[in-house]
Amino acid sequence: MAKINGNTIKPGMVLQHNGGLWVVTKASHVKPGKGGAFANVEAKNLETGNKLNERFRSEDKVERVTLEQRDFSYLYEQGDALVFMDDGTYEQIELQKDWVGEDSIPYLQDGMKVVIEMHEGRPIGLELPDHVTLTVAETEPTVKGQTASSSYKPAVADNGVRIMIPPYMSAGERIVVDTSTGEYVRRAD
């Protein structure tokens, strides 16, 4: 771990502070007319999700942490846990569903490649691929003449996620969805 000055903190950095790991979400640097420069930092705890607002002076030293990013494949669900396999060592790990998050779970598919950020052998974060291909399970039928408008219609994908799709699409079609926003991107090839 490297020690950095308080005035070099930027959003996205991971810091070890007050006995926890914090990811910086906002950092504004202030140089008042009187006194030393400082940085107002907003951070989120990677383990508990708590938020922190802290002021670091330019001469303060902070521990910067580098997380190891490892490639894993999603295997299967086992009770309250999800099982992933390390693509390099073939070692399997179980992560609790509430740790993974209910926003991410529906997008997981057998064999899907994910990136798990590790710190000292402990999982800290999980990154899904940017896009995932889903099948439209149900939607309203297309009404003739309705396809000219730019409005979208509601649909349910095969994983149970509700999504808005173009009016000309029907059930059974494959679509590409953005995993971070849950929005329709394009028709799958």
DSSP letters, 148-176, are GS---EEEEETTS-EEEE-TT--TT-EEE
- Check pLDDT > 70 for residue 12: yes
- Check pLDDT > 80 for residue 149: no
- Check pLDDT > 70 for residue 70: yes
- Check pLDDT > 80 for residue 139: yes
- Phi, psi (rounded to 5 degrees) for 44: -125, 135
3-state DSSP call for residue 3? strand
- Check pLDDT > 70 for residue 145: no
Alpha-carbon distance values, 111 to 75, 86, 102, 114, 140 (Å): 6, 11, 19, 9, 31
pLDDT band for position 1 (cuts 50, 70, 90): low
Nearest of 59, 49, 57, 62 to residue 4 by alpha carbon: 62
Q: How far apart, in whole angstroms, are the C-alpha atoms of residue 82 and residue 99?
A: 10
Q: Which amino acid is at 110?
A: D
- Residue 41 near residue 26 (C-beta atoms within 8 A): yes
pLDDT at 66: 81
3-state DSSP call for residue 186? strand
Q: Which amino acid is at 68?
A: E
